[in-house]
Amino acid sequence: MANTDVLAVPAPNWTRFTLAHPAAAELPDDIVFGACIPTESELKLIGDMSGKRVLELGCGAGHNAIRLARAGAKVIAIDASADQLALARAAAEEADVKVELHHGHLHELAWLRADGIDMALSAYGLASVTDLPRVLRQVHRVLRQEAPLVLSLPHPAIEMVAAGAADPLRIRRTWFDHSPRPWTAQGASGTDHPRTIAEVFTALTRNNYRVDTIAEPEASHDRGPASSFADVMRWIPPTVIIRGRKQGN
């Protein structure tokens, strides 16, 4: 099957919920890992972050960063899009919370001192990186011992289909297809680099993380926003969430 057959079908907006404005206003008032799936209050992957230093990788327009700041965390957020950071800055000002925002690639963390971060979070932000191990090494350096990295990605099963197509369950790419997948959503655009769950697990363990959680939550149309739900989600998990903890130095 030609890759052009896949790329001709736009990725639906729900795959890029962190692009936030105005869609983020419809998201749950909680930390979210993906559209229409359980949030932190149900999954309990992060825990109490009050007074803790938290790094968000790929913060988009700031939905999770603001929720973490409201929970008492000292939030440092980085994103490669200046436009998204401008939205995040405006949203933080409107919410009257302090979020330290940085513009740059997610592997560029030399400005952070080692062993100074209590938790790292990335909701879909790592989907666009070409060199995942490089990012994981930098995050490992800045995390405290046993501190968690919680990341979510488009589930590799959902990458095989085109949720916005007339026949969304038709397989358009193989599980093992690593070719880049461009997307557009709400005026923004980017490129995913699909990876299997096994590849992400291996990248984490080889870079000295102990993986203690892999979740494939079921999506539901009543978890909202309603416009983010695609019928294919009844059959295929849209998001995979993995938590790893820093080991060694």
At 113-154, the pLDDT tens digits run 999 999 999 999 999 999 999 999 999 999 999 999 999 999
Distance of alpha carbon 159 from its chain centroid, rounded? Answer: 15
Q: Is 206 exposed, middle or buried (0-12, 13-18, 19+ CB in 10 A)?
A: exposed
Read off the pLDDT band of 233 (50, 70, 90): confident
Single out the residue of 110, 100, 52, 98 nearest to residue 79, CA to CA.
100
pLDDT at 77: 96
Give the domain 14-155+195-230+238-246 fold: Rossmann fold (3.40.50)
Instruction: Tell me the average pLDDT across 10-35.
Output: 61
Residue 16 pLDDT > 70:
no
Tokens of 92: 């933080």
Instruction: Tell me the average pLDDT across 198-217.
Output: 98
Residue 243 pLDDT > 70:
yes
Read off the pLDDT band of 29 (50, 70, 90): confident
Give the torsion sign (CA, 47, 241, 237, 3). positive
pLDDT at 151: 97
Instruction: Tell me the average pLDDT across 211-236.
Output: 85
pLDDT at 229: 76
Over the chain, what is the mean pLDDT?
86
Read off the pLDDT band of 25 (50, 70, 90): low
Single out the residue of 36, 18, 21 nearest to residue 77, CA to CA.
18
How many residues are there in the chain?
A: 249
Residue 2 pLDDT > 50:
no
pLDDT at 71: 95
pLDDT at 182: 81
Tell me: the pLDDT tens digits for 145-188?
Answer: 999 999 999 999 988 887 777 788 899 889 999 998 887 766 66
